[in-house]
Structures are given as C-alpha cells and as structure tokens.
Amino acid sequence: MDCSFSALDGYFGVGPAPMRFELFEGDLVGLAKAVDGLSFPGLSYADAIVDIARSDIARGDGARSDGAGNARVRYRCADGGSRAAYPQAGLARLAGKNSFDARGAVYGSLHDSAPVPGNAPGDAPGDAPDDLVLFEAAVLASRYPYDPDPRCVPRAPSGLSALYQRDLLELVLTGARPDKGLELLLLSGFISEYWPELADLSGVVHAKDYHPEGDAWRHTMETFGHRKAPDLVLSLGLLLHDTGKPDAVSEGGNRFNGHSELGELTARAFLGRLGYSRADIESIAFLVRYHMLPAALPRVPPSSIGRILDDPLFPVLLELYRCDELSTFRGPDGYYDACAAYKAYLKNSRNPYRDSNGKRRVDLLHRNGSGTL
C-alpha cells in the first residue's frame, strides 16, 4: 500500500511524485522474496528501493513505472528499520481504497501547519536521525500545507549520498511550493554543503530596474510560483537557468555576459554529480543554454535557429521563459511575442510554398517552366 509521501499525495490530492513510497507488510526477507530488482542503499527513509535503468525525466511525464508498477519505488517494511520522523509522514493508504491508516495517531496532527518531528506515541521527539528529519521537513514544506518549525530542523549532516540528494531534489521540485523546501535547505546549510552552485546565487546582486524581486536566489525561487504545473523537467531548468551568473563578467553593458553558456556547464556538472542519465542532462542543458533565446525570437531569422526550434523541448523552453519573465514583474508581452513567432515558424514549416522565414519559395512558383501558382 502507498505510504509516506505517496499516501499524503493521495490525501491532499497532490499530483504523483517521480517515485512511489510503498509499505510492505513484512520484513526485508519477505520483501526480497516478493520483489525483483531490489537494492539496499542505506537510506533513512526507505528499507529498500527499486530503480530501473532508464531515463526518467527526459520524457517529461514524471514517469514512475515501467508498466509493472515497480520503476522507482521506495519500500518501507512494517518490520523494517525505517520510520517516519514527522508523524505526518507515517500515513499509509489502503490499497485500492480512498481510505487511510493512521499508523501512530497521525490524524491528530495531520493538519498541523507547524509539524514537529517525533515518532510513535511515547517516543521522545528528536530521536530520529538528522538526515531523515531534514529530508521529511523539506518535502513536507514543498508538497503540502505545512510549515515545519525551523527550530526543529537540524544542520545538514555530512556524507549524504547522491541518491538521497536526487530523491530529495525531485520531491521538492515537484511540489507546489519548492521555494519553501529550498529555503529550509538553505537555512540548514544543506545547499552550501551539497549544492554550492545554488548557494552562490545568493551573492549575485541584480539591478533593481530589471529584477526588483531581489538577488539571483530570490529570483530563482520566484520563478516556481509561475509554473502552470510542477513538471520536473521545467522545474530543473528553472532551478539551474541562472547558475552561470556568479561566474559571468560584465561586457558591453551586459552585466552577465555569457551566463547561459556558463550555466549550461554548471548544470551538466550538477546533474552528473547526482547521477542523472546522459539523456536527462542533455534535456536540462538545452533549457539552460537557450533560456535567453525566446526573448530574441521575434527578431531572429528562424532559418538560423531551426535546429533549436525543432527540438521537442522548445515548448518547455517557452514555458521557462514565461516563468522567468513574470518573476521579474515585466509582464507577459515578451512571452506572447515569442509564442507568436514560434507559431508562425511552425505554420511556415508546414507550408510547402514558404520557407521557414515565411518567404515564398521561388523554386516552387513555376511548374513545367510556365504558369505561376
């Protein structure tokens, strides 16, 4: 049955996460007999996992299953060692039913807007491992109507695995409020310890005329609020789109000259460190590298950038541009102009009598050496 964040997703009607949390009624031996492909990476929030070897996000659909229901699953055994640090994360959803199992009197605190870590009734608060408390607090803040008490959030422990980091990142980014989870991780020291590329954004000062929302970190957090849906590909692109700014230099009136190219390199290194596939890295690198292009689209001959416009991710790039623009309080006009130019390109590309720039194709104006079309 679904448990932990999968159960909470069902309870609150939140869209599915990139992975599923499942409760197994038994111990690890029984789980190993029942499920093929298990691994045991020593995660505090799961006794065992299944991860299939394929690109998960390049498809852009937040895929969780390979058809057999066991693509990316985090298993908790009823008789295993993992447990919830926050009582809200102790919920379980009965299989095939819209009903839930409290598992530790969780209903008494399910709607608490400021949850405090603690285990089953009678256990002393604070005896859960720090990495579990931090993980659950960030996810609870991002996905549900919770504001974990910052005083109960520990400093980030050392030695957290790439798998832990990736699971945490994806659960946070696919929530409705990733900014809340990321701010909590910044406060705990996790961002500076594990994702310094993001921590560096806090020191990047923007001109108030262009970015009244604040520095590059605040700008990035603001972009998430303009998403139409918590898509993982888009969200990773937003998270990383300005990571080249800390290393960019001013040139010719451009305060952050070349930051898109620098950001692409940073994004590739960041995603590679977290174990993303080559296909996934290429997808996000595309968004970061070209995130400034939609602004120039109405003025650029489409034939010169046809390869980019034909990429299946270009509509996602337009969405990134929309979120980027709206977070600066500029308004949507630039986005609408870019969409109009893109639609014109698509229309002309389908017209055999026009080139991609919208001009008539001279070679097709005459047939059989006479007569005009």
Q: Name the residue type at position 176.
A: A
Max mean pLDDT range (38-47, 98-107, 197-206, 349-358): 38-47
Encoding tokens for residue 242?
Answer: 């300005």
Q: Is the pLDDT of residue 125 over 70?
A: no
First to last CA, the chain: 66
Please check whether residue 59 lies inside any domain of the structure. Answer: no
pLDDT at 61: 41
Lowest-pLDDT choice from 102-111, 260-269, 317-326: 102-111
How much is the pLDDT for 211?
55
Summary mean pLDDT of the chain: 85
Query: Does 58 fall in a domain?
Result: no
Pick 175 or 94 by higher pLDDT. Answer: 175
Residue 67 has pLDDT above 50, yes or no: no
Q: Is residue 297 part of a domain?
A: yes
* pLDDT of 59 higher than 50: no
Residue 254: pLDDT band with limits 50, 70, 90 = low
pLDDT at 214 over 60: yes
Q: What is the pTM of this model?
A: 0.87
Query: pLDDT class for 368, splitting at 50, 70, 90?
Result: very low
Tell me the pairing of strands 20-24 and 72-77: parallel
The pLDDT of residue 336: 97
Q: Tell me what pLDDT residue 64 has.
A: 45
Query: What is d(CA 74, CA 300) in angstroms, rounded to the nearest whole number?
Result: 47
Task: Supply the range of the domain harboring residue 240.
Answer: 228-373
CA 272/CA 255 separation, integer angstroms: 28
Q: Please tell me the predicted confidence (pLDDT) of residue 325.
A: 94
Q: For position 93, what pLDDT does the model report?
A: 87
**Quick one: pLDDT at residue 206?**
63
Q: How confident is the model at residue 63 (pLDDT cuts 50, 70, 90)?
A: very low
Q: Specify the pLDDT at position 172.
A: 99
Q: Which of 194, 129, 187 is nearest to 168 (CA)?
A: 194
In a domain, 340, yes or no: yes
pLDDT value of residue 281: 98
- Count of CB atoms within 10 A of residue 333's CB? 9
From CA 46, how far away is CA 152, in angstroms rounded?
22
Question: Considering the domain boundaries, does residue 298 fall inside one?
Answer: yes
Q: Residue 363 — very low, low, confident or very high, per pLDDT cuts 50/70/90?
A: low
Question: For position 208, what pLDDT does the model report?
Answer: 61
Tokens of 155: 């400093």
Q: Looking at the predicted structure, is the pLDDT value of residue 212 above 50?
A: yes
CB 140 within 8 A of CB 184: no
pLDDT-derived band at 295, boundaries 50, 70, 90: very high
The more confident residue out of 79 and 334 is: 334
- HEC profile of the chain: CEEHHHHHHHHHCCCCCCCEEEEECCCHHHHHHHCCCCECCCCCCCCEEEECCCCCCCCCCCCCCCCCCCCEEEEEECCCCCCCCCHHHHCEECCCCCCEECCCCHHHCCCCCCCCCCCCCCCCCCCCCHHHHHHHHHHHHHHCCCCCCHHHCCCCCCCCCHHHHHHHHHHHHCCCCHHHHHHHHHHHCHHHHHCHHHHHHHHCCCCCCCCCCCCHHHHHHHHHCCCCCCCHHHHHHHHHCCCCHHHCEEECCEEEECHHHHHHHHHHHHHHHCCCCHHHHHHHHHHHHCCCHHHHHHHCCHHHHHHHHCCCCHHHHHHHHHHHHHCCCCCCHHHHHHHHHHHHHHHHHHCCCECCCCCECHHHCEECCEEEC
Please tell me the total count of domains within the chain. Answer: 1
Q: Is residue 86 part of a domain?
A: no
> Is 210 a domain residue?
no
pLDDT the model gives residue 205: 79
Residue 148 lies in a domain: no
Burial class of residue 7 (count of CB atoms within 10 Å of its CB; 0-12, 13-18, 19+): buried
Percent of the chain with pLDDT over 90: 62
Average pLDDT, integer, range 174-197: 98
Q: CA–CA separation, 355 vs 373, rounded Å?
A: 16
Q: Give 149-163 pLDDT, tens digit per residue.
A: 999 999 999 999 999
Quote the pLDDT of residue 69.
Answer: 41
Residues 301-351: pLDDT tens digits?
A: 988 999 999 999 999 999 999 999 999 878 899 999 999 999 999 988 875
User: Which has more pLDDT, 82 or 327?
Assistant: 327
Q: How does pLDDT run across 223-244, given as a tens digit for each residue?
A: 999 999 999 999 999 999 999 9
Angle at 221 between CA 220 and CA 225, to 5 degrees: 110
CB–CB of 266/197 below 8 Å?
yes
Question: What was the pLDDT predicted at 303?
Answer: 85
| Best CA proximity match to 153, nearest among 182, 123, 194, 121 | 182
What's the mean pLDDT in 275-280?
Answer: 96
Contact 154, 128 (CB under 8 A): no
